[in-house]
Amino acid sequence: MFNTLHREEELLPGQWSRFKFFIIATIAMFFYQWIPGFLFPVVSSIAWVCWINPKNHVLSQIGGSNGLGVGAISLDWNNIVAYLGSPLVVPWWAQVNIALGFFLIAWIMVPIAYYTNMWEAQRFPILTSKLFTVDGEKYPVLSVLNPATASLSQAGYEQAGPLRIATFFALAYGIGFAGLSSMITHTWLYHRHKLVAQWKQSRTQSEDIHHKLMQAYPEVPDWWYGALFVGMTALAIFTCQFYGYMPWWAVLLAILLAVVFALPVGLIQALTNQQPGLNIITEYVIGYILPGEPIPNVTFKTLGYISMSQAMTFTSDLKLGHYMKVPPRAMFWAQLLGTFIAGLINLVTANWLLNSQKDICNGSKEFACPHANTFYSASVIWGVIAPNLMFGPTSIYNAINFFFLIGFLLPIPFFWFKKWFPNTWIDQVHIPVMLAATGWMPPAQAYNYTNWLAVGFAFQFFARRYHSEWHLRFTYVMSAAFDSGVAFFGLLSFFILSINNIKMPIWWGNPETEICRLDGYPLMSPKGGMIDPWAPNPEADDAPQYNFPKAYVAPKL
């Protein structure tokens, strides 16, 4: 997009410039987004497989948008790019790895585990981040917390019983363990020589054309970065100590984790445009060190994971500035000022929304907060209950720990296969990307992935192979334009509609209740036996948190 806005092109007669294409595509997406975003929201998720027989529970779980999303179609760009980013800028070979990982995990492993009732899976919905008791009721989090210290109450925990989560959620954590350990092995096997060579080359100041041109500007002194690092670390230590968020040594440990994993994560992101997260390892480490402490857990997670993620963003911006020939010192101050403004605006906006929007993050259709709710569940799993109780020797989820070993070993055979069979499809196998494929699930839904992959195939495979000239000129521009159009729609619709509580009237394109409703239901009743959600149930008042109706009366279809 930046290149498009600044570059002058030599055009043939009748040929569109990239800038013209960008403007038209942005306007087109802005107007189109009103259809799925307001006027006709049913096209955001067309679960036609489930519509074949909405009363069939298993079919709903397989084809529903809140289930495995088989065949579900989304015509909403916002849904397509919500979690994995734009599929128009991810290499096709990386998308194939993501597809293989997704299909293997979400459409093979999870259905086998769920329908064989592993870990009593059928007591819970097939895909959710919510928390349950052993019989499928909503887990009483407040009752297991000590009110004075906001830490785990052993007596309350013994009364509430073990915490249960959806089998998909548990497997997602296991796959996350495997992805993390595979990242270390993969980096060592495939990139250790390249890293050493690049380090030596960077010390000798490689004279590529971009480096030569950037010599016209004074470089940022190292002490600027050093002073900023020391100052912000000291501020973090003071904040965490003064307000009791976590001990000072935990701040340093979180930063150390971010530093250690920045290199392997950066390598993978540079090659694939996908960033593996450190959320699981940060929660795991501090959960064992400070069990039963949710506030230190989420603080440690934020400092460890988000610091690394922001480092990747900062490096990416520096690279962009290098190619665009922006003076390094201007980049430094722009980043610093932008970070300050963005942090302040985010804080003010979040507090304003929490205080002004009814049922925000808890039943609101407009503000469902899937990320925040998953973050909350993680704080209970890793902070309140802690990994020793949740995944330790006494837990039914104990086998999840073996995924660390599986992930560590998995890249090794593929490394040797590549040696033995060079220049084959094996060269494109990337185990960390494959294992990180479902890292966003939950809160991401399966149909977010399938539609992302479909659009990626259309542009990064079909268009690139059969319309290479058009692809080279316009694909990345289109991606930026579509993102911009959706962003403009989001801003305008919020200040015109949402803030004034203006809603689209109910009609068949904006139904009050979804036709496919059973995808978020468990298959087995907490009282035992299979659920028949379409028959009246006198015990409906005891309904658990997965939104059973007051009485199971079949809705009008």
- Quote the DSSP letter at residue 457: I
Structural contact between residues 21 and 475, judged by C-beta atoms closer than 8 angstroms? no
312 Cβ partners below 8 Å, 6+ apart? Answer: 262, 265, 266, 269, 275
pLDDT of 469? 86
CA distance 63 to 492: 33
pLDDT of 542? 42
Sequence-ordered alpha helix ranges (H) in 302-445 = 307-324, 328-356, 370-378, 386-391, 402-409, 411-420, 431-435
Residue 44, both tokens: 């955001």
CA distance 365 to 498: 11
Q: Is 135 helix (H, G, I), strand (E, B) or coil?
A: coil
- Quote the DSSP letter at residue 73: B
pLDDT of 532? 54
pLDDT of 150? 81
365 Cβ partners below 8 Å, 6+ apart? Answer: none
Residue 460, both tokens: 């990064």
- List pLDDT tens digits, range 3-39: 767 777 777 777 788 888 899 999 999 999 999 888 8
Query: β-strands 145-146, 151-152: how paired?
Result: antiparallel
CA distance 357 to 318: 38
| Ranges in the chain, pLDDT < 70 | 4, 202-207, 525-557
pLDDT of 50? 85
Closest residue by Cα to residue 251 from 293, 291, 307, 294: 307
Domain ranges (residues) in the chain: 1-6+17-99+445-557
CA distance 247 to 244: 7
pLDDT of 114? 92
177, with CB counted inside 10 A (0-12, 13-18, 19+), is buried
Q: 164 — phi, psi (to 5°)?
A: -120, 145
Q: Is 541 helix (H, G, I), strand (E, B) or coil?
A: helix
pLDDT of 526? 62
pLDDT of 366? 73
Q: Is 64 helix (H, G, I), strand (E, B) or coil?
A: coil
- List pLDDT tens digits, range 139-151: 888 888 888 778 8
pLDDT of 551? 34
CA distance 414 to 427: 9
pLDDT of 530? 54
CA distance 443 to 441: 5
CA distance 36 to 30: 11
Structural contact between residues 69 and 63, judged by C-beta atoms closer than 8 angstroms? yes
494 Cβ partners below 8 Å, 6+ apart? Answer: none
